[in-house]
Structure 1
């Protein structure tokens, strides 16, 4: 089964940030900024780059699949018992940036991971908003 398969679930979250796409992009792609709002990591925004992110609950490993600066970022998001993809889409909005997160590939047996992502991503996005305020 692959991400996007009709037997999988997708989590989609949209948020508007009162910050320009350039600033949001930096926070999504610069390792030191990612570490402040999501997890310590060795991320590089280069197609084909492999990375790891570490949290108390485990490690996420991934590979960058697509990079469209200030528009779109897509990578695999593979954690304990989960194989998925995360895609970020940035669109200019009247007040700043509309950011859409889509995580695909939750299989029926990934129920705990799906509900964990539903609870976790909003907390991460709140931390992202606080970071965006600080980095100016």
Structure 2
């Protein structure tokens, strides 16, 4: 079992910490604005209602609406959390927490889910996505 994977009650959680040389406000834009989110997140958002209870509709095949998520926490420049449902793997919780760290920002990213059979593959995917987030932040104006 990876150090990133832990049992939390009846769920599993992958937890990653990243430090970025960018202030929380910039990181917030990269994780909540569709034009930036779609560059590093595994799905591309077609719609995002930025509020608790707001929906995120991701692009499906051939431009049709795809998977949906519900925003469960929305504290600007601090916490962005959502709940996704996947027919194959069930319900997932994603939480991104930002904290100022000198001139930059520390982000704690946690992904919770019920079945750990695909956790290693998911961990590898998130590492690549978070690396890409760092590149997106460096390119943002």
* TM-score normalised per structure 2: 0.81
Tell me if the contact between 1:17 and 1:95 (Cα under 8 Å) persists in the aligned partners: no
- Residue in structure 1 matched with residue 125 of structure 2 by the alignment: 120
> Alignment RMSD, CA only?
2.0
- Residue in structure 1 matched with residue 94 of structure 2 by the alignment: 86
1:130 aligns with 2:138: no
Tell me the CA shift for residue 52 of structure 1.
2.8
Tell me if the contact between 1:61 and 1:77 (Cα under 8 Å) persists in the aligned partners: yes
Q: Distance in 1 between matches of 2:28 and 2:40?
A: 13
- Residue in structure 2 matched with residue 46 of structure 1 by the alignment: 51
The within-5 A match list for 1:53-68 is 53-54=58-59, 60-68=67-75
- Residue in structure 1 matched with residue 81 of structure 2 by the alignment: 74
Tell me the CA shift for residue 46 of structure 1.
1.4
Unaligned runs of 5+ in 1: none
Tell me the CA shift for residue 103 of structure 1.
1.0
Tell me the CA shift for residue 115 of structure 1.
2.2
Q: Distance in 2 between matches of 1:55 and 1:99?
A: 28
1:111 aligns with 2:114: no
- Residue in structure 2 matched with residue 36 of structure 1 by the alignment: 39
Deviates more, 1:81-90 or 1:22-31: 81-90
| Number of aligned residues | 128
* TM-score normalised per structure 1: 0.84
Q: Distance in 2 between matches of 1:119 and 1:43?
A: 26
Aligned to 1:19, what secondary structure does the other structure show?
coil
